[in-house]
Amino acid sequence: MNLGFDGRRAVIVGGSYGIGEATAAILLREGAQVIIASRSRDNLEAARTRLEAATGRAPEIFVADVVKDAGSAAALMEEVRTRWSALDLLVSAVGGSVRADFDTLSDEDWLASYEFNVLSTVRSVRAALPLLAAGDAPAVVTLGAAAAKMPYAHQIMTNVHKAGLLGLVKTLALELGEKGIRINAVGPGRTRTPLWINRATKMAAERGVPVEEIFAEFAEEIPLRRFAEPNEIAVMVAWLASPLASYITGQSINVDGGIARGLV
């Protein structure tokens, strides 16, 4: 299927591994020009090498910490302005969860989770808006979580902040629609990215069991009985960012193997 990405200008914040890198691979294969951004130059260079080997095309890279450095999203978009003068697609893949009980969490923990899961997208979208307004069929996709629609116990901060992110998406869709800018969220379920691989490896070490035992345990409550591969989430991110989804905005679509039990 032709997703209509040929020549389109895309930035993926959080593109050095995981779902962001998998999205970059699809966009590059489909002919888009891509900048991937993250905190670590080493990670970005490694991703560029992998992506070039996998797709035959290399992304540009840009070092930006959109959580710790409030100005870095603006610096990234200044680079986009110089290079392309407009932006068609923005993907925000920064975020993650902490497994912890409510009574162990401090104000600092809550603020850090808010910055990681909500403010990261706020900053990226805010800095990109003038460039998106000048873009061709502009679209934003951010990464929510299945937990935004079906909260899990023991990860309260993600439940709260990913639900807040959906409020952000819906409100921005209302405010940006008249400029022709679409914004949507994809809600992954459990996905085999470094986020989960690191968590499962730590749990396996604590319990003295093989890491695959941890993955099997957490797959039990997923109707499809397995974790997603990053590409299975990225195809929805790419499709929502594409002109094929031209009448979809303000939505959050779960790609979760059926784990979220609610009707909406």
Applying CB under 6 A, which residues contact ligand NAP?
13-20, 38-40, 43, 64-67, 93-96, 143, 145, 188, 190-191, 193-196
Which residue of this chain has its Cβ atom nearest to ligand NAP in the complex?
Answer: 18
- Cβ closest to ligand NAP, residue 88 vs residue 115: 115
- Whole-number minimum distance, CB 210 to ligand NAP, in Å? 20
- Cβ closest to ligand NAP, residue 16 vs residue 159: 16
- Does residue 252 contact residue 149 with C-beta atoms inside 8 Å? yes
- Whole-number minimum distance, CB 13 to ligand NAP, in Å? 6
Rounded Cα–Cα distance for residues 123 and 73 (Å)? 6
CA angle, residues 193, 140, 239, in degrees to nearest 5: 65
- Cβ closest to ligand NAP, residue 75 vs residue 195: 195
- Whole-number minimum distance, CB 92 to ligand NAP, in Å? 8
The four Cα atoms 225, 227, 228, 230 give a dihedral, to 10 degrees, of -170
Q: 120-133 and 72-84 helices cross at what angle (nearest 10)? A: 20
Q: 194-207 and 211-219 helices cross at what angle (nearest 10)? A: 110
Facing residues of 11 across strands?
A: 35, 90
- Cβ closest to ligand NAP, residue 75 vs residue 133: 75
- SS3 at position 228: strand
- Whole-number minimum distance, CB 102 to ligand NAP, in Å? 19
- Cβ closest to ligand NAP, residue 151 vs residue 194: 194
- Beta-sheet strand order (sheet of 139-143): 60-63, 33-38, 9-13, 89-92, 139-143, 182-188, 252-255
- Cβ closest to ligand NAP, residue 147 vs residue 176: 147
The four Cα atoms 31, 37, 41, 47 give a dihedral, to 10 degrees, of -40
- Cβ closest to ligand NAP, residue 5 vs residue 116: 116
Q: Can you read off the two tokens belonging to residue 158?
A: 């993600």
- Whole-number minimum distance, CB 6 to ligand NAP, in Å? 25
- Whole-number minimum distance, CB 43 to ligand NAP, in Å? 3
- Does residue 62 contact residue 76 with C-beta atoms inside 8 Å? yes
Q: Can you read off the two tokens belonging to residue 148?
A: 């935004």
- Whole-number minimum distance, CB 213 to ligand NAP, in Å? 18
